Amino acid sequence: MQPPPQDRPPAGPTTTGPLRVLVVDDDPTVAEVVAGYLERGGYTVDRAEDGPGALERAAAFRPDLVVLDLMLPGMDGLEVCRRLRATGPVPVIMLTARGDEDDRILGLEVGADDYVTKPFSPRELVLRVESVLRRSHAARAPEGVATLAAAGLWVDPAARRATRNGAELALTLREFDLLTFLLRHPGQAFGREELMREVWGWEFGDLSTVTVHVRRLRGKVEDDPARPRLIQTVWGLGYRLDVPAADATDATDATNPTDSTARRPPAPHDLRDPQGDPVPPSRAEG
C-alpha cells in the first residue's frame, strides 16, 4: 500500500554507494533491456510497469534518476513526472514513441530533464543517464560562488535562486543553468551545439531541445517574449545575451536588485519566426 504523501520520504539519494535508477515502462522487453544495460553500467535498478506503481516504487526506492515512459497504463508519464517533481528534485528522462515537438515541450514543462524517442539505442540511453546525473550533481554549486547580476536579473548559483526585478523566477534545472551560463558570458554568441555541450554536458542530442529551453527561458525573463531584448538569436549560429555594458559583471555578494531591466532600442523590424525569433530582413522580404 502506497503511503500518504505527507509520510513519504522525499525523492533522491540518501546513502552512498551505486546510484539508483528507476525504469518505468509497461513493455517488459524494453524495461528488461534498459535495466540490463544500466546494471552493466554500474547502477542499481528497480522497475515499475504503470503510473501508480512508479510512484510507489519511487517512494520506497528513492532513485537518483527515473527513466519514465510517456505512455503508461493507469496514469501517463506526464502526470507521474508532475507528482515526482512535487516530492523532490529527482531527475527524469522521458521515453516517448512520439517525435512531435509538442510532446517534447510537454515533458520539459512538467520537469523532465531529457527525453529519448523510441526506438533508441540502449547505450545512448545510458550515456544520457550519465549526462543528466553529472549535471544534476554539478548543480550543487560550492559555497562562495559569485552571484550574477545584470539587466534586472540576479542569480545565486550556490543557492540555486534567480530573480527578475526582485521577483523570484520559477526556473527548471536546465533553465537555471542556461541563464547562469549566459549571464557569465554577456555579449558572446554561442551555437546550439556549444550550448548543449557547455551548459548541459551533452556531446549529442536533438538541437530543438536547446530551442525549447531558450523559448521557455525567454518567457520568464523577457518583458515581451515575442520581441526578445535580452536573449537574442544570432542567425546561422545560435543565441547571445545582450545586456547594458555597465551591468554585464559578476558581483560577489551582490544584493538582489529591484531596479527595472534596462531598455535597448527596438528591433528594426517586427516579423517573428515560430520560435518568437526575429526574421532576418532577407527572409522578411520574401
Q: Beta 238-241 vs 231-234: how paired, if at all?
A: antiparallel
pLDDT at 269 over 90: no
State pLDDT tens for residues 189-207: 999 889 988 887 766 666 7
Per-residue pLDDT, 139: 55
pLDDT over 80 (residue 44)? yes
pTM exceeds 0.85 for this model: no
Instruction: Give the model confidence (pLDDT) of 217-252 as tens digits.
Output: 999 999 999 999 999 999 888 999 998 765 554 444
The pLDDT score that the predictor gives to residue 172 is 79
Cis peptide before 266 (omega within 30 of 0): no
Nearest to 13 by CA among 83, 89, 77: 89
User: When comparing pLDDT for 253 and 171, which is higher?
Assistant: 171
Most confident listed range (41-55, 158-172, 245-259): 41-55
Cα–Cα distance list, 123 to 38, 39, 40, 116, 128 (Å):
9, 12, 11, 12, 9
What one-letter code names the amino acid at 258?
Answer: T
Residue 276: the pLDDT is 45
Question: Which residues lie below 8 Å from residue 230, measured CB to CB, with a gap of 6+?
Answer: 151, 153, 218, 221, 222, 241, 242, 243, 261
Report the chain's mean pLDDT, rounded to a whole number: 77
Tens of pLDDT along 16-30?
Answer: 578 999 999 999 999
Lowest mean pLDDT among 3-7, 77-81, 88-92: 3-7
Confidence band, pLDDT 50/70/90 cuts, at residue 110: confident
